[in-house]
Structure 1
Amino acid sequence: MPTTPRARARAQTMTDIVRIGREHLATDGAAALSLRAVARDLGVVSSAVYRYVSSRDELLTLLVVDGYNALADEVDAALAESPDDPIEQIRILARTVRRWAHAESARYGLLFGTPVPGYDAPADQTMAPGTRVIISLQSLFARAYRSGQLQAPSTDVRISSSLATNFAQIRDELQLDIPDWLIVRGVTFWASLFGAVSADVFDMYGTETFTDRDELFELQIDALLDVLGHRPDH
C-alpha cells in the first residue's frame, strides 16, 4: 500500500484513469479509446495524464489486466462460498464466467473478443492475471481426478514428444500430478467453455434461435463434464 501522500495521490489517479477507461470502453469500444478523452473526464490537461499513462496501448494493457483480475476475483469469491466438491465447483466457475461476461460485456469483449487493431498485449504483464481462471480450472480438474470422479479413456492418448514436453511443463509450473489425457480434456473443456460464453455474449446464435439460453448453457456444462470424463451416478 502507498505510504506517502504523494504515492497515495498517484495510486488514486491511476485508479481513476482505469475507472474512466472502463467507462469509455463500455460506451466507445476499445478501438476508440483516447487518452485525451480520459484526461478530459479526469479534469486535467491531456499532457498531465501522460505522466501516468504513456500511450493508448498502455491504457489498454491496464484495462486488460484489470479485466482479467476482476473476472478471476469474481470466480475466486464464488468458489470460496461453494460446496467442497470439485465437480460442483467446476459448474459454479463456468456459471460465474458467463454471469460476469454478460454483466461486463465490454470488458469481456476486450479480453476474449476481436483483437484491437495495432495492439499486442504484453505477455509479461497480462500472462499471470490472464491465466488465473484457467489455473483454477486445472486445479479443480486435478481434484476431481484424485477423488475418482473422472473416468480415464479406454485407450491411451498418443502424443508427440514435443507436446509431451509441453504437458510436462504445465504439470511442473502448476504443480499438478495429472495424466496427459486429462490435460488434453482439460484444455478442450476451458477452450469450449469460453467459446460457449462468447457465442452467447456476442449473440452468435441469433436472437431467436434458442428460447432459454440458461438451460442451453447448463446442458453445455453437462456435455463438457462428459468430455472431461465425469460419469454421474444414476
Structure 2
Amino acid sequence: MNSAASSAGDGVTPKTVVKDTARRQLVERGAAGLSLDGVARACGLALTDVEAVFPHRDDLLTALVIDAYDASGAAMEQADEAAVKAGAPAGARLLAVTRALRQWSFANPGEFTLIYGSPVPGYHAPQDTVPPASRTPGVLAGIVRSALVGGELTPPRRAVPGPPLLLPAAVEAFGGVPEAPFSDIIERGIVLWSNLIGLLVFQVFSRTHDSVRDESAFFDYSIAVAAESIGLVVPSGEPTD
C-alpha cells in the first residue's frame, strides 16, 4: 500500500497529503524546486489526482503560503492571549509573541523561507494571501495600541520628519493616527516589525551563529532594543519557556 492510500485509509484527504509532502520538499528543494509532478511521485499519487486538488503549481504554493502565515500568526495570537491572561504588561506581551514567532520559524524553516525568504521565480502571491499575512503585524499593532491606551509608552525623543510616510490602509488598520507625541507610532511599529523579520532571517539562516554566543538571549536583547524605538520597555530576565 502506498503512502497516499494509507493516509486515505486513515481519513486524511488527498489535499492534506499533497500539502504535507510539499512542505517536506520545501526543506529539501526549496520553493523554486517544487513541482506538482515531483510532489505526486513523492506521495504516491497520480499527477491527475494532485491536479484535481491543485491544478497548477502556483495554486499549491498559495495554499502553503496561506497555511504558513496562518500558523505563524496563530502561534503569536495564542502567546499573546496567554500573556494577557497572566496579566503581563505590554513589553512582556511583545517578548512572548516574538518568541512564539521565533519558535515557529525554527520548527518550520521551509515555510518560514517560503514567506520571508527570496521570492519564488514566476510566482506572484494573489490577494487571498493578504489577510493571513496581516496576522503577524496585526498582533504587534494590537500590543502597541494597548500600550498606548494604557499609558505604557514613553514619548519618543524625535518624531519622524516631514509629511506622513504611511499609506491610508496602514493608518486605518491601526485605528487612526494618534495625537502627539505619539503621532508617528505607526511608522515606528512598522520599523519594529521589519526589525523582527530581519532578525529572524538572520537567525534562521544562521547569519549570527559565528558572532553571537547565545542566540536566544541575543534575540531577546534585540527585541528589547527595537522596542525602545516605540517607547516600550521589554522586561529583562524573563524565562524562555
Q: Conserved in 1, the CA contact under 8 Å of 2:72 and 2:101? A: yes
Q: CA deviation at 1:181?
A: 1.3
Matched, 1:141 2:144: yes
Q: Which residue of 1 aligns with 2:205?
A: 202
Structure 2: segments with no counterpart, 5+ residues = 1-10, 236-241
Q: Aligned residues, how many?
A: 219
Q: What do residues 102-161 of structure 1 show as CA deviations (whole Å, max 9, x unaligned)?
A: 111111011101111121211x11100011010111011010111111122245433426
Q: Which residue of 2 aligns with 1:47?
A: 48
Give the counterpart letter for 2:229 in structure 1.
V
Looking at structure 2, the residues matched to 180 and 49 of structure 1 have their Cα atoms a distance apart, in angstroms, of: 51
User: TM-score, normalized by length of structure 2?
Assistant: 0.83
Matched, 1:91 2:92: no
Matched, 1:109 2:109: no
Q: CA deviation at 1:231?
A: 4.8
Q: Conserved in 2, the CA contact under 8 Å of 1:72 and 1:132? A: yes
- Are residues 86 and 21 of structure 1, via their aligned partners in 2, closer, same or farther at CA, if it must alter by over 3 Å? same
Higher helix share: 1
Question: Is 30-39 or 140-149 further displaced after alignment?
Answer: 30-39
Q: Conserved in 2, the CA contact under 8 Å of 1:150 and 1:230? A: yes
Please give the secondary structure, in 2, of the residue aligned with 1:230: coil
Select 2:214's aligned residue among 198, 212, 215: 212
Q: Which residue of 2 aligns with 1:172?
A: 172
Looking at structure 2, the residues matched to 198 and 75 of structure 1 have their Cα atoms a distance apart, in angstroms, of: 17
> Where does 1:215-226 land on structure 2 (aligned, <5 Å)?
215-226=217-228
Q: Which residue of 2 aligns with 1:56?
A: 57
> Where does 1:18-33 land on structure 2 (aligned, <5 Å)?
18-33=19-34
Q: Conserved in 2, the CA contact under 8 Å of 1:139 and 1:176? A: no
Structure 1: segments with no counterpart, 5+ residues = 1-9
